[in-house]
Amino acid sequence: MTAEDFQTGQVLLIDKPLQWSSFQAVNKIKWSLKKHLGLKKIKVGHAGTLDPLASGLLIVCTGKFTKRIPELQGMIKEYTGTFHLGATTPSYDLETEIDAVFPTGHITEELIYKTVASFLGEIDQKPPIFSAIKKDGKRLYEHARKGEEIEIQSRKTVIHEFEITRIALPEVDFRVVCSKGTYIRSLAYDYGLALQSGAHLTALRRTKIGDYAVDNAMLVTDFEDSVTP
């Protein structure tokens, strides 16, 4: 593709690796386009953040297609991942250390499958305190890292599909199809509570956004090689 193609607009499907932030992935693409195509300015943006501890599909738009970002952000998303039952962390994932442990002896396979049903449809969900949502002009994780107590408002979200794909206690693998704004970390925490135990997220991969699939995505580290003048 030429410099003009990217300025006119492209929708790039990127497979974001673990430990990369979405911002780093966008910057890498922007840098590659400027370096190899001689572009002084190019608009590049992503259609929905993926945490550094998650891998998978990141939709990146260039040029005039950055105007399509709100439309792409509104699409339903599919994730796969792993819950660890019997323990919680303040961030609801592996960003922070385990802060409490809970009994799991009562948790049967039947209970694990049965509990899923209570999360289907529209649910109220509180975003994690370790998230980028702004409150009082600061991101929630900034309040959290200072140890500040803060009240978080719950929000409506929709879980279209939720299935358990593997049980190897204390690990449980899942697949979820959900609306924009759903926090899978919060789903892990709430699922643990519903089991009368605790849970946190130990692996997450975004596999689809609307009809776009990670199977058709390119590794962000391979993008530079695909750019030719």
CB count within 10 Å of CB 118 equals: 13
d(CA 10, CA 221): 18
d(CA 62, CA 204): 26
- Whether residue 136 lies in the annotated active site: no
- The position carrying tokens 């439309």 is 71
Token pair, residue 227, equals 């750019």
Determine contact, residues 11/48, Cβ cutoff 8 Å.
no
Q: Among the options 5, 15, 51, 211, which is catalytic?
A: 51
Token pair, residue 28, equals 């890498």
Q: Beta strand pairing status for 199-209 and 212-213? A: antiparallel
d(CA 48, CA 23): 11
d(CA 37, CA 48): 26
CB count within 10 Å of CB 21 equals: 13
- Torsion 205-49-78-179 (CA) sign: positive
d(CA 45, CA 65): 9
Q: Return the active site residues.
A: 51
